[in-house]
Chains A and B, each alone.
Chain A
Amino acid sequence: MSLKMNEADALYQDAIKQFAQAAHGHGQLAAAALVPIGEAKLDNPLCGDRVRMQVAVSSGRIDAIAHETRGCLLCRAAAAVLGLRAKGEDEAGILAAVDGLQGLLQHDGATPAAWPELAMFEPARAYPSRHRCILLPFRALLAALRSAPASDAAD
């Protein structure tokens, strides 16, 4: 028997698979190269997925980002979006992206202009249990940012 496409499959469009595969930002920051470094490790208690996020911060802005993401395609794609787009952002910019993403997932919100790739997560709106998968790397990034020593003191 061959099964037909349905709306659930829209989640697994090529863009999400390509981002998960590309894994932008995957890895670790070199320990001595960039300071100060903030780091956080967050789990999704539902499935054991884990994101370890590192950021180098200068004057409150992300100079470099690296992550090690063990998770589903949605989680890995979201981490890759951060790997591609987060550099140069400050905490307010990341929070704005999270707000936009949550708006996109929870109601008919617009895709944040600075983060066009987030549009690929729109089909996840119908699946609230998966929102945590997508948001996990963002939460990890915010935690990493907040763990970084004040950059002005280190500059």
Chain B
Amino acid sequence: MSATAASLRNQFPLLAAAPDLHYLDSAATAQIHRLALDAMLHHEATRRANVLRGTYRLAEAADLAYEQARAIAARFLNAGAADEIVFTSGATASLNLVAHAFGNTLKAGDRVLISVAEHHSNFVPWQMLRERTGIELALIPLGADGQLDLAGLPELLDRNCRLVAVTHCSNVTGAMTDVATLVAAARRVGARVLLDGAQAVQHGPQDVRGMDVDFYAFSGHKCFGPGGVGVLWSRGELLAAMPPFLTGGGMIASVTNEVATWAEPPQRFEAGTPPIAQAVGLGAALEWMMGLPWARIHATEGHLCEMLITGLQCIPGLRLLGPQASAQRAPIVSFDIPGLHPHDICQVLDGHRLALRGGHHCAQPLLAALGVEACTRASIALYTDEAEIEALLDGLDYAVKVLT
């Protein structure tokens, strides 16, 4: 193991305690960093109180920690202001929030453009919106190279298109979306752009203003933070124009017997007690990430991805699902070995301490477009090293023998 990978790995308590574990499922859930755990424990042990409600000093300390986490998330995304960060329970909740709060401003005949490569979390909410309001839902197809095929954008993006909501990075193929092309096309017809950043955030801080998008959603557990917390970012003026999604405590300006009025964003979209300690833990994880040498990490991840794909292509019959190593991609690699079911492959690999995901990865329309019902996925993170890729390739060689 290289010194860098070993030193990174040892910062993750679970991995440090299990040196023989090859955790290659970070696209499902990344391991949690020690700093995030420490921050949550410290918060719960010294500052536990509800936020934005109490006036005693303990509550003020909790408020401060929570709002500091919001400011960190804003810096991580290069947002214009901390108040543009809405804490949610995860990317799924963030996407549902947009599908309701923004979606409910749409009317029958308006178009929402998604892609066939979406996680169900950015697919089903729009299908439900179509049922509620009669919007038209259109799909960007998959190209032969595994990337989104943007050639048809001029036809898909007409004046009725109000929102383009696509993944920043496929959770199955690792394909990165060509955001610049998409945003330019969307702007021409005045459509808003939402990126599902669930997979992209694990591979470094993002620049929502640089990308010129309108919404960005991600989960804490995908970027070395805790589960149960996520982020929705949007421009201040957009958030201010949207009605709430969930309602209840903490999101109102006033309530009478007859009517309620809404708090300003972001509180308008944080009904009920938010995941306070989780937000603090996420803040610690994001702060840690912002201090990392990302150019070097990307080079290592790219090298491991290429090493894996090269090795996979030596397995007879194996079909790589998605872009080649040289493409614009994240190190998420899915494949199909005809005649072998991903569940069985993953079960045999587990016997050799290799943790991979097999199944449809909550992306059944994408798998249908790729012509498979299920596939096996290995995802590489910053704590992965060459020995783990070699172990996976050995394990696959063994699995093929056991299962045939």
Contacts and interface: CB of A to CB of B under 8 A. Distances in A.
A130 B342 CA distance: 12
Interface string A78-98: 000000000000000000000
A46 B359 contact: yes
A48 B364 contact: yes
Interface in A63-112: 70-74
Contact of A72 (B344, B360, B364, B367): B344
A1 interface: yes
Interface string B356-380: 0011100010010000011000000
A12 interface: yes
Contacts of B367: 48
A70 B347 contact: no
Contacts of B358: 47
Interface string B338-353: 0001111001101110
Main SS of chain A's interface residues?
mixed
B373 A12 contact: no
A73 B403 contact: yes
A3 B395 CA distance: 7
B294 interface: no
A133 interface: yes
A9 B373 contact: no
B352 A49 contact: no
Interface magnitude class on chain A: 20 to 34
A151 B234 CA distance: 61
A70 B348 CA distance: 19
A71 B395 contact: no
B394 interface: yes
A3 B353 CA distance: 12
A7 interface: yes
Contacts of B347: 8, 11-12, 127, 130
B146 to A, nearest CB: 20
A141 B351 CA distance: 31
Given A8-B347, A8-B350, A3 B398 contact: yes
Interface in B384-404: 390, 394-395, 398, 402-403
Given A3-B398, A47-B358, A73-B403, A9 B351 contact: yes
Given A6-B352, A47-B360, A12 B344 contact: yes
Contacts of B360: 47-48
Instruction: State the main secondary structure of chain B at its contact with A.
Output: helix
Contacts of B351: 6-9
A71 B359 CA distance: 10
B359 A3 contact: no
B216 to A, nearest CB: 28
A46 B347 CA distance: 14
Contacts of A11: 347
Among B359, B390, B394, max chain A CB count under 10 A is at: B359
A72 B350 contact: no
Interface string B287-322: 000000000000000000000000000000000000
A71 B360 CA distance: 12
A70 B394 CA distance: 27
Contacts of A71: 341, 343
Given A6-B351, A9-B402, A48 B373 contact: yes
A8 to B, nearest CB: 3
A47 B402 contact: no
B395 A130 contact: no
Interface string B112-148: 0000000000000000000000000000000000000
B344 A47 contact: no
Nearest to B362: A45
B403 A12 contact: yes
Nearest to A133: B343
A64 to B, nearest CB: 27
B359 A47 contact: yes
Interface in A1-56: 1-3, 6-9, 11-12, 17, 46-50
A72 B341 contact: yes
Given A3-B395, A17-B403, 19 more contacts: A1-B390, A1-B394, A2-B394, A3-B352, A3-B394, A3-B398, A8-B347, A9-B348, A9-B351, A12-B347, A47-B343, A47-B358, A47-B374, A48-B373, A49-B374, A71-B343, A73-B341, A74-B343, A74-B344
8 contacts: A1-B390, A2-B394, A7-B351, A12-B348, A17-B403, A48-B367, A48-B374, A71-B341
Interface of A: 1-3, 6-9, 11-12, 17, 46-50, 70-74, 127, 130, 133
Interface of B: 341-344, 347-348, 350-352, 358-360, 364, 367, 373-374, 390, 394-395, 398, 402-403
